[in-house]
Amino acid sequence: MLRFENVVLEQGDFRLTADFTLEAGTQAALIGPSGAGKSTLLSAIAGFLEPSKGVIRWQRESLSGVPPGDRPMSILFQDNNLFPHLTVAQNVGLGLRPDLRLSKAETAQVTETLARVRLAEKADEKPASLSGGQNARVAIARLMLRAKPLLLLDEPFAALGPALKSEMLELVSTLAAETDATLVMVSHDPDDARRIANETVLVAEGVAHPPKPTETLLAHPPAVLAAYLGH
């Protein structure tokens, strides 16, 4: 489980509190107005920002002081974090070994994973020669190989357009379900939350609220969420 224990996050004058638990295997959306602190909460899980008070725990262990690279998670940002000078296969191979010294079995795993995201024929190309959707699938393939129990998405597919964005989110959601990974995604689109997330955390007015079933929250939104959703 991912637990926020009396957590206070601060960036300049901005302050956000969080005190709740997400059970392992949950697929959760973070929803709320612009500037409310959704990315801030994700940064704290990822270890880019330490809480000024309280503790974040994964499976009961405190993450305090654990550097981002040592946390049991993968994070995807909007730019997909691909290396332009590496081929598609190498970008995916990084998910297994940062030094890219892959064994035969690992190389075969990369090939299999690329086939799974329908990019087998692009293995030796560079990201620049791929479309946005194909690059997103490269990033997802690397995510699959990293096989971390906690997946954090900060709107990585927002630039792709609605249909492709939904397709990519569904691919990640399927992957998370197959591996029992816990998924936490920032969402600006309630339909994405509905489709993917069984639980939704409302981030608003300085508080990351305890998660609620997505349908319940969206059907009976508190005033601040109703205003954000334009109801």
Ligand X SMILES: Nc1ncnc2c1ncn2[C@@H]1O[C@H](COP(=O)(O)OP(=O)(O)OP(=O)(O)O)[C@@H](O)[C@H]1O
Shortest CB 225 distance to ligand X, Å: 13
CB nearer ligand X, residue 12 or residue 98: 12
Within the chain, what is the greatest distance between any pair of CA atoms?
56
Q: How far apart are CA 37 and CA 43, in angstroms?
A: 10
Residues in the chain: 231
Work out whether 78 is an interface residue with ligand X (CB under 6 A): no
Taking CB under 6 A as the criterion, the residue among 26, 39, 182, 214 binding ligand X is 39
Shortest CB 32 distance to ligand X, Å: 6
Work out whether 201 is an interface residue with ligand X (CB under 6 A): no
> Residue 89 — φ and ψ, nearest 5°?
-65, -40
CB nearer ligand X, residue 34 or residue 67: 34
- Going by DSSP bridges, is the β-strand pair 14-22/207-208 parallel, antiparallel, or unpaired? parallel
Work out whether 40 is an interface residue with ligand X (CB under 6 A): yes
* H or E, element range at 182: strand 182-186
3-state class (DSSP) for residue 55: strand
Work out whether 35 is an interface residue with ligand X (CB under 6 A): yes
Shortest CB 108 distance to ligand X, Å: 39
Work out whether 36 is an interface residue with ligand X (CB under 6 A): yes
Q: How far apart are CA 7 and CA 61, in angstroms?
A: 15
The residues binding ligand X (CB under 6 A) are 11-12, 14, 32, 34-40, 203
